[in-house]
Amino acid sequence: MTLRFNIGQKIQDTQISQDGVFITYLNKFAKFWIKKLNLEEHPEGGYFVNTYRSDKTIDLRDYNGVRYACTAIYYLLTGNQFSSFHIMKSDETWHFYLGSSITLHILDSKGRLNEKILGPNFNDGERFQVVVKSGCWFAASVNEKKSYSLVGCTVSPGFDYRDWKMGDRKLLTKMYPQHKWIIEKYTKPD
């Protein structure tokens, strides 16, 4: 089977084979996007770059200060990387761009686990956009481990580290013991 990827103006082909040609190519492809988009390592895992901050700011009581009305990033995960469980004060919309589909593992305020798939295969239940509501703990993982996922994330009111918290494995397990297996899988060890 031959796959074709459009990299800028150049079309690249690669064969899927038993000897890992496909794996090597996709690692190079992810590296291409990391370099091309000037992505940096993200504290949750993966790579990102800020792409937009609105000119407009808003002052909200719930946020204890001024925030941009909206912000956006490119975000890339490779193979076995994941975005660790974290929580935000704002809603976040994820947008699919390239590569493998990605699963968002969302723990809502009532302790329910919802898994939403971001990707291009609508017949398989995937969607180009998925919204994570504020106040939900969530993580993300690449579905094709030999691939990568390039997505975008839009946050409104805009992202600010004061409104973001990384999940603590012990605390989340205590809060949601019924989801211990997934919390342990998508948090960093203590």
**SS3 for 62-110, per residue?**
HHCEEEECCEEEEEEEECCCEEEEEEECCEEEEEEEEECCEEEEEECCC
- Hey, CA dihedral for 156, 157, 161, 167, is it positive or negative? negative
Region 107-127 average pLDDT: 96
Q: Is the pLDDT of residue 111 over 50?
A: yes
The pLDDT of residue 165 is 96
Region 99-111 average pLDDT: 95
CA 107 – CA 137 distance, rounded (Å): 5
The pLDDT of residue 189 is 84
Q: For domain 40-185, give its CATH number from 2.60.120.10, 3.40.50.2300, 3.30.390.10, 2.30.330.10.
A: 2.60.120.10
The pLDDT of residue 26 is 56
The pLDDT of residue 13 is 37
Region 137-165 average pLDDT: 96
The pLDDT of residue 15 is 38
Q: How many other CB atoms are there within 10 angstroms of residue 110's CB atom? A: 5
Task: Tell me the two tokens of residue 137.
Answer: 């703990």
Confidence of residue 28 (pLDDT cuts 50, 70, 90): confident
With pLDDT > 70 as the criterion, what percentage of the chain qualifies?
86
Minimal CA–CA distance to 173: which of 147, 137, 125?
Answer: 137
CA 40 – CA 36 distance, rounded (Å): 11
The region of weakest confidence among 16-25, 148-157, 162-171 is 16-25
Which conformational region is residue 97 in: left (phi greater than 0), alpha (psi within -120 to 50 degrees), or beta?
Answer: alpha
What counts of helices (H) and strands (E) characterise the chain?
A: 3, 15
The pLDDT of residue 64 is 87
CA 90 to chain centre: 15
CA 8 – CA 178 distance, rounded (Å): 46
Q: Which residue is it, tokens 């690249």?
A: 12
The pLDDT of residue 157 is 97
The pLDDT of residue 22 is 47
Q: Is the pLDDT of residue 14 over 60?
A: no
